[in-house]
Structure 1
């Protein structure tokens, strides 16, 4: 396990912009995922235990979704839809292809418009759905055809991979700020509060590069399933 932690640390300190599959057989990859999950549980719940002393921060995301959508639909949202959606945004474009970046931009635009422009949950099918979809699609298509036409975008992406890699981790962490009820006077503690999500971002980025996008999604789904079971 210590060697696994060292591998994740090394892959984070010096990330590489290519998929470097370390196992060819799916069974070996699943075993590695389970080992990584065990490490994540230990580290995450150590952080959560420490954060439990800060009473002003509450994360009731699963309960809130269950109240809005019911148990069965909330299971589908929390365990399947959200993990895949987040992986498309934050991990898919780590390996550069125009389609990967376009899908990521589409998801990010839709989330931004829902949460910050129209002030609604991105899971809600509201009256602004058409505008959000059209705008996000236009931006995503622009990115896709721009990437296909201009090879410099790919060169820039690969040449600045470490910045993009770390930005993915930070954006993933800070995107979860909306999960918490935060008093204004405690905003300086935000980096600490989202530290479990930053840790998750580090681990998911490592899996994305080492095992590929599919296994990254599987890990995220299994993680959310574990959380869902604990919180219902």
Structure 2
């Protein structure tokens, strides 16, 4: 399992001929999940002693939602959104790429343009949703054109290594928006977002090798796990 992951990270391929049963895929996914949790806890524990800025996103959500709603939003809705944005299109398909284009547009509009939160229902929410839906529809029409679809498929196969690395880096580094956008936090960005980078490398592998549902479920379980620990620590 670990060898397959390392080999994939060193030389990512869009299509893997992984002859594994569903049972073995589940076992491998659980093993990778445990590795990810252990790594994340180690990094988080180390940061406790070195540098620990406030996670503004977690604080904002905790203030706006009840524990049950927070588990629903943080443990189900946001993981689904992020997996569509950063992992779904690792296997090229016009509808996948259109959905990714729409959710990525929503992400950038929310974080960089309107300086808002993904789950915040403020006065910009409908604008963000409307623009994202328009992008999905236009992108699907465009990407489904035969000549464009063929060109994208060739590009995906030829440049998949960079596409995979970009998905990992963007997933991790965009999480810097969870913190105050200060100079010191940007300096610490590679360390602050290291758990997300490690998570993205594993999620990208499981998405390509096993299917979209595997990294999605792991992402949901991970978020629910850490949110539950937060509730217990508050109690």
Q: Same fold (TM over 0.5)?
A: yes
For the pair 1:32 / 2:31, whether they are aligned, the reply is: no
Matching of residues 77-96 of structure 1 within 5 Å: 77-96=73-92
**Alignment TM-score, normalising by the size of structure 1:** 0.90
Describe how 1:48-63 pairs up with structure 2 within 5 A.
Answer: 48-59=44-55, 61-63=57-59
How many Å separate the matches in 2 of 1:84 and 1:125?
A: 18
Distance 1:64 1:42, change over 3 A: same
- Superposed CA deviations along residues 173-211 of structure 1, whole A, max 9, x for unmatched, are 012112224642342221111111100101111110111
Q: Cα RMSD (Å) of the superposition?
A: 1.8
Quick check: 1:195 aligned with 2:194? yes
Q: Structure 2: which 5+ runs fail to align?
A: none
Superposed displacement of residue 60, structure 1: 5.7
Structure 1: segments with no counterpart, 5+ residues: none
Alpha-carbon distance in structure 1 between the residues aligned to 2:15 and 2:138: 25
Which residue in the other structure is 1:214 paired with?
A: 213
Distance change in 2, residues 1:66/1:7 (3 Å)? same
CA deviation digits over 1:127-178, x for unaligned, max 9? 2233222322222222212211112122112211111000000010012112
SS at match of 2:15: coil
Q: 1:212 aligns to what SS in structure 2?
A: coil
- Residues 135-144 or 71-80, more deviating: 135-144
Give CA-to-partner distance per residue, 1:85-126, whole Å, 9 cap, x none.
100000000000010000011111111112221222121222
What residue number does 2:223 align with? 224
Q: What is the alpha-carbon distance in structure 2 between the residues aligned to residue 61 and residue 182 of structure 1?
A: 12
- The residue that corresponds to 1:17 in the other structure is 14
Residue of structure 1 in register with 2:5 after alignment: 8
Q: Equivalent residue of 2:151, what SS?
A: helix
TM-score, normalising length: structure 2: 0.89
Counterparts of 1:191 and 1:157 in 2: how far apart (Å)?
27
Q: In the alignment, what sits opposite 1:139?
A: 135
**Does the CA-based 8 Å contact 1:56-1:181 persist in structure 2?**
no
* Aligned-partner Cα distance in 2 for 1:59–1:79: 17
CA distance in 1, matches of 2:58, 2:33: 20
* Partner Cα distance (1:88, 1:209) in 2: 13
Structure 1 runs (4+) greater than 6 angstroms displaced:
none
Contact 2:57 2:117 in 1 (8 A): no
Q: Is the CA contact 2:172–2:194 (under 8 Å) kept in the aligned structure 1?
A: yes
Q: Report the count of equivalent residues.
A: 228
Specify whether residues 153 and 140 from structure 1 end up closer, same or farther in structure 2 by C-alpha distance, changes over 3 A only.
Answer: same
